[in-house]
Chains A and B, each alone.
Chain A
Amino acid sequence: AQTVTQSQPEMSVQEAETVTLSCTYDTSESNYYLFWYKQPPSRQMILVIRQEAYKQQNATENRFSVNFQKAAKSFSLKISDSQLGDTAMYFCAFNAGGTSYGKLTFGQGTILTVHP
């Protein structure tokens, strides 16, 4: 079974600074997908960024980027120029591909607070 671990229950950062959220996962699959989702106080789940395991290049979406280390099974999220609107719970998620039929396994989440 696949597992996803987020070791930082809470993080805080000052506005305009950079913060990195950690995520590790465990799988025996060779091809899979990784995601970061954001859940603001509204509780809506929003896809932030995704990474395909067979692509070596790290994904980037505006101020959000990932550091994907396949051998280490690590998938961290870097938020640059943090904004107050980035305050949210962030979930790392894994999809094994193949016969998993798209089922996502989520980590326990990291609460990020951006301070003015």
Chain B
Amino acid sequence: DSGVTQTPKHLITATGQRVTLRCSPRSGDLSVYWYQQSLDQGLQFLIQYYNGEERAKGNILERFSAQQFPDLHSELNLSSLELGDSALYFCASSVDQGRGYTFGSGTRLTVV
């Protein structure tokens, strides 16, 4: 157990639907990052939150949004889902830049 908890582990949904992915960071970590990993692809940075505030944005689609709550857990909302959104979505947390991330086990999203 890495200390970063992601739920659900698997999600199957239809095109056009909306889903919410949840992440609880490791205790003491203020930064939360969301990454998307499509099949046989590298990891694409989506968005970062630090202590409740958005800090950096990557190639995140307008149909996607995220937030970090006062208890530091974060949610990634994906709407108007398309087949191409099928991917593994990782949440990671960190205490500072130099130590790297601790990753959750990911949410496997399948859009049918």
Contacts and interface: CB of A to CB of B under 8 A. Distances in A.
Contacts, number: 68
B34 to A, nearest CB: 11
A101 B51 CA distance: 12
A5 B47 CA distance: 22
B105 A44 contact: yes
Interface string B25-58: 0000001010000000111010010100001101
Interface residues of B, number: 26
Contacts of B105: 42-44
Interface residues of A, number: 25
Given A101-B31, A104-B101, A45 B56 contact: no
Interface string A78-116: 000000000000010101010011111111110000000
Interface of B: 2, 31, 33, 41-43, 45, 48, 50, 55-56, 58, 88, 90, 92, 94, 96-103, 105-106
A106 to B, nearest CB: 5
